[in-house]
Amino acid sequence: MKKIPKIYVLVGYGDESETFIRSRKLWSDYIKNHDINFYFNVLTPSLASDLVLEVGDELRVGCGELHTDSIDKSSYSKNYTWNKSERFKFIHRRVMTFQYLLNKEPEPFWVLNTTVTSAISIKRIKKIIENYDCSNFFGGAPIFKDIPFGNDFFVMLSGAGHLLSSDVLRLVVDRSQSMQWDCLDDVWTSLILFDIPRVPLKRYDFTYEKSYSEIDVKNISEKIDRAFQEGHYHFRVKSPLNNGIKREDLDPLILKQIFDAIKRSEENESFDMNKLLSFHSGLRSLNEEGKLLSIAREN
């Protein structure tokens, strides 16, 4: 019988937003029913920047001596946009976390890296992982970025849902000093891994553009159920900051509906692997292995 490598689920979390605090409670309630290595991956100013500690369900990465921009400048706590020092810290968190796990685990393993405002079916992601070797794997939701003066596109993978094999984590750590840390961590990771083919994975982006007082829970539940029937397993929730919407009110409510649906589906799950593994790549074709190169071209 094929041995399934360990899976580490890392949920990026910060104390900047009430949205995170409310969403964290939903993750904690869901994950307690699963036998999996799970951590909220947090930055800890009280720890030195060369330290990583496991404390309960947290993997704490020290950032004590790292520079922090003034709160008067753009910051996530003010407008959900990372400022320069925040971007640096989150790349620091990623590199230190990967190094910590590599030191801890002698055997190959998987890392699923996502955000606290995502909801993922652990049962389905385990089933998907069974179909791949734990080697040279860099998967997630692809984003095609224009490259100036040509018809090519740079293929980055969104940080909400990175799935990586441990040998690719090693590449990230080994190459971490080869490029400046002045960009978002998912962009940075995709650039660092420029020579690793991308495995496109499904993600359902849930954007709900009504105010809290106009929420139609029945409509939300119907959308979620349809997405499950289509083989989705990763839902990212990010409400727009307009029409009087407050993410701390709306996102956790939607996440609760998603986690409730995941729990219902996992009670008596029958898998349609064709749906779970299917991905529509539009005009950009996949290679014979079902992967995308970092530079893609329209057909």
Query: What are 5-41's pLDDT values in tens digits?
Result: 999 999 997 655 788 888 999 999 999 999 999 999 9
Confirm whether 270 is domain-assigned. yes
Domains in the chain, number: 1
Task: Determine the length of the chain.
Answer: 299
Confirm whether 1 is domain-assigned. no
Q: In which residue ranges of the chain is pLDDT below 70?
A: 1-2, 14-16, 67-83, 148-151, 208-215, 240-245, 270-271, 273, 277, 279-290, 296-299
Q: What is the CATH number of the domain that holds 134?
A: 3.90.550
Confirm whether 182 is domain-assigned. yes
Confirm whether 71 is domain-assigned. yes
pLDDT in tens, 194-209: 999 999 998 998 875 5
- Looking at residue 210, what is its pLDDT? 60
Encode the chain in three state secondary structure: CCCCCEEEEEEECCCCCHHHHHHHHHHHHHHCCCCCEEEEEEEECCCCCCCEEEECCEEEEECCCCCCCCCCCCCHHHHCCCCHHHHHHHHHHHHHHHHHHHHHCCCCEEEEEEECCEEECHHHHHHHHCCCCCCCCEEECEEEEECCCCCEEEEEECCCCEEEEHHHHHHHHHCCCCCCCCCCHHHHHHHHCCCCCEEECCCEEECCCCCHHHCCHHHHHHHHHHHHHCCCCEEEECCCCCCCCCHHHHHHHHHHHHHHHHHHHHHCCCCCHHHHHCCCCCCCCCCCCCCECCEEECC
Distance of CA 267 to the CA centre of its chain: 24
> Which residues form the domain of 286?
6-297
Confirm whether 185 is domain-assigned. yes
Sign of CA dihedral 295, 194, 236, 133: positive
- Looking at residue 255, what is its pLDDT? 92
Confirm whether 131 is domain-assigned. yes
